[in-house]
Structure 1
Amino acid sequence: MTETVPGVLSVSGESQQRLPLIFDSPHSGTQYPPEFNHAADPALLRQAEDTHVADLWAGAMAHGAVLLEAHFPRSFVDANRAPDDIDPDAITGSYPAPLNPSVKSRLGIGLCWTRVPPAGGAMYDRPLTAEEVADRVARYHRPYQARLRGLLDDAHARWGAVWHINCHSMKQFASAMSTQDRGTERPDFVLGDRDGTACEAGLTEAVRLFLVARGYTVAVNDPYKGMELIRANGAPAQGRHSMQIEVNRKLYMNEITREPNAGYPTLKACFTALAAHLADHVETRLKRTAAE
């Protein structure tokens, strides 16, 4: 059974959950709200999406995990950003809370994107209003973050620990909107655990070894260490383990048309097998804790 909040999110696998293993895909949304009112070329704007990522991980539910996915696009409001991560110079009016822009906001990819991929042209032909931003946070951003936290809290209460996999995709080459030099080629995968502070080291290593054994190139915390959902939910000393997995889009789709390529079935099968591997890892950890 799938729980759906129209236009906002869906949760799948909760009624069959048998492990404290939660996957979330905050950037795979493709339902563009009518109030977006951007001035961007829709084809270019879609390059911001982690298109198909939730579907690629759908096999995780067969192994007792839960999958949360956003339906709204990250360029409208980014569920993987803090609610204060916006440049005050990018909006008009008085925002109802203090703002704390990060490097992502300065690149135009903070809480509400102000730049269009890949070249970084203007998203709007007008400044965003503080009221618009606050409304997006209230109706989309906050419900997503709260639902994720609720899933994690429920699992932690039931099993005494929880493992969270934050699922993303990345462009094959760094764009003008990246913290890397434009044109830098990315590996097949980047795993992020905020330099080992967001999860037990064994989780990151288990995923890295699994992928390397299948011939993939894997980097850890370079260039992606994990953003807000990892920062807010990863606390390994409390039995809360969060890590981010970025997959190179070249492995599964055409970055321009967004259509799956010939590698899609192979990658989806790999993710289902990785979910099974993670389920084994979680079960092992739970048994070890119970025996101590």
Structure 2
Amino acid sequence: MNDWPETASARGGSVRSDYWDQPAFETIRPRRLLAPLVFNSPHSGRVYPERFLAMTRLDHLSIRQSEDAWVDELFARAPHVGAPLLRAHFPRAYLDVNREPWELDPTMFVEPLSDRFNTTSPRVAAGLGTLARVVAENKPIYRERLTLDDARMRIEGIYHPYHAALQRLLSEAMNVYGVALLIDCHSMPRISRSNEKAAPDIVLGDRYGTTCAPGLVDLVETIFTGAGLRVARNRPYAGGFATRTYGRPQHGVHALQIEISRHLYMNEVTLTKNDGFDAIRGVMERLIFALIGLDLVSLVGNQALPEKAAAE
């Protein structure tokens, strides 16, 4: 299923959608839903609109440094075995759906931003709001300031429909199984450590035990460590907007963010797949099969919620 964004003009804006002639994202559904799982790859998009490229001061490789390149392909097996995959085609440098909808940097826009916008978050300060100001290594993206109509086009026309599609998939799982598990799929730069402790290959984020049943996180960690990968939890990535927003174990919806070190499967400079790609894809397929075959209802039903989560 392809998801075509509404144009901003249809929502009252004056800028035509950059994806008026192609899908901004895609929901790949299984023939039959076999488990209450939803896989989400929001940062692996690599379709760069010509208008956006004309607005940036970066070359075609530099602008891609924010991508979770190829992550959608690492999890591509999911729809074939019974779970949907939602994946972005728009790039993260263009729009980040793992942020609040109006988390914007006022220095990026011609017009002043009112109090309705979140302009003071740590992510905005770092240049990584809903519309990013910079890519990796703090390289500025744009030649000139943007208009708010451009932001509305992206947020009202693509961001909101993307989250509506994600919510719809989780609701469908809930309606069938009474429980749902969101696997939010990401990649991370290789972590360097100055001490003797080895850097992790995988970081699992459950917002410090508040967005996912502990047994599920334990199972996922066991699968990765069984494949010889080093796993950390919540540091340095505890889970972003999607994990925090949708992970409500007390209401039956669990969310777990998975960060995969890019050096395992690709060249971090050229973004080309390396010799490890097939092996890492095989590990992710083992994870998918394990979760598909899990009696998720029994597992999460028998686990008490962490006090912090239960109090929310």
TM-score normalised per structure 1: 0.89
Residues in 2 aligned to 1:229 and 1:25: alpha-carbon distance in whole angstroms? 11
1:97, distance to aligned residue in structure 2 (A) = 6.8
Matching residue of 1:18: 34
Sort the Cα spacing of 1:20 and 1:10 in 2 relative to 1 into closer, same or farther, 3 A: same
Matching residue of 1:279: 292
Match of 1:208, as an amino acid?
Answer: E
Correspondence for 2:74 among 47, 51, 56: 56
The answer to whether residue 132 in structure 2 is matched with residue 108 in structure 1 is no
Task: Summarize deviations over 1:32-64 as a string: whole Å, max 9, x none.
Answer: 123322121221111111111011101122331
Matching residue of 2:24: 8
The answer to whether residue 112 in structure 2 is matched with residue 85 in structure 1 is no
The answer to whether residue 272 in structure 2 is matched with residue 249 in structure 1 is no
Match of 1:114, as an amino acid?
Answer: R
- Which of structure 1's runs of 4+ aligned residues deviate more than 6 A? none
Correspondence for 2:146 among 117, 128, 141: 128
- Check conservation: 1:172, 1:185, Cα contact below 8 A: no
Match of 2:134, as an amino acid?
Answer: R
Residues in 2 aligned to 1:244 and 1:50: alpha-carbon distance in whole angstroms? 13
Question: Aligned residue pairs: how many?
Answer: 280
The answer to whether residue 65 in structure 2 is matched with residue 38 in structure 1 is no
- Check conservation: 2:106, 2:112, Cα contact below 8 A: no
Unaligned runs of 5+ in 2: 5-21, 303-312
1:228, distance to aligned residue in structure 2 (A) = 0.8
Matching residue of 1:177: none
Match of 2:128, as an amino acid?
Answer: I
- Check conservation: 1:88, 1:99, Cα contact below 8 A: no
Residues in 2 aligned to 1:230 and 1:58: alpha-carbon distance in whole angstroms? 20
Task: Summarize deviations over 1:98-143 as a string: whole Å, max 9, x none.
Answer: 12242111111111111132x2122112122222111110122111
Matching residue of 1:170: 188
Matching residue of 1:98: 116
- Check conservation: 1:114, 1:123, Cα contact below 8 A: yes
Residues in 1 aligned to 2:95 and 2:296: alpha-carbon distance in whole angstroms? 37
- Check conservation: 2:30, 2:80, Cα contact below 8 A: no
Correspondence for 1:215 among 203, 218, 228: 228
- Check conservation: 2:243, 2:255, Cα contact below 8 A: yes
**Aligned with 1:242: secondary structure?**
strand
Sort the Cα spacing of 1:145 and 1:95 in 2 relative to 1 into closer, same or farther, 3 A: farther
**Aligned with 2:204: secondary structure?**
strand
- Check conservation: 1:93, 1:131, Cα contact below 8 A: no
TM-score normalised per structure 2: 0.84
1:7, distance to aligned residue in structure 2 (A) = 3.2
Match of 2:182, as an amino acid?
Answer: H
Residues in 2 aligned to 1:128 and 1:213: alpha-carbon distance in whole angstroms? 48
1:69, distance to aligned residue in structure 2 (A) = 0.2
Correspondence for 1:74 among 92, 114, 120: 92
Residues in 2 aligned to 1:208 and 1:169: alpha-carbon distance in whole angstroms? 16
Sort the Cα spacing of 1:265 and 1:82 in 2 relative to 1 into closer, same or farther, 3 A: same
Bigger drift between 108-117 and 93-102 goes to: 93-102
Match of 1:285, as an amino acid?
Answer: V
- Check conservation: 1:68, 1:148, Cα contact below 8 A: yes
Sort the Cα spacing of 1:97 and 1:25 in 2 relative to 1 into closer, same or farther, 3 A: farther
1:215, distance to aligned residue in structure 2 (A) = 1.0
Residues in 2 aligned to 1:16 and 1:95: alpha-carbon distance in whole angstroms? 46
Match of 1:104, as an amino acid?
Answer: R
Match of 1:108, as an amino acid?
Answer: G
Task: Summarize deviations over 1:171-211 as a string: whole Å, max 9, x none.
Answer: 1147xxxxx99xx9852000001111111111111111111
Matching residue of 1:233: 246
- Check conservation: 1:7, 1:31, Cα contact below 8 A: no
Kindly report the root-mean-square deviation, in angstroms, between the aligned alpha carbons of the 2 structures.
2.2
- Check conservation: 2:2, 2:23, Cα contact below 8 A: no
**Aligned with 1:15: secondary structure?**
coil
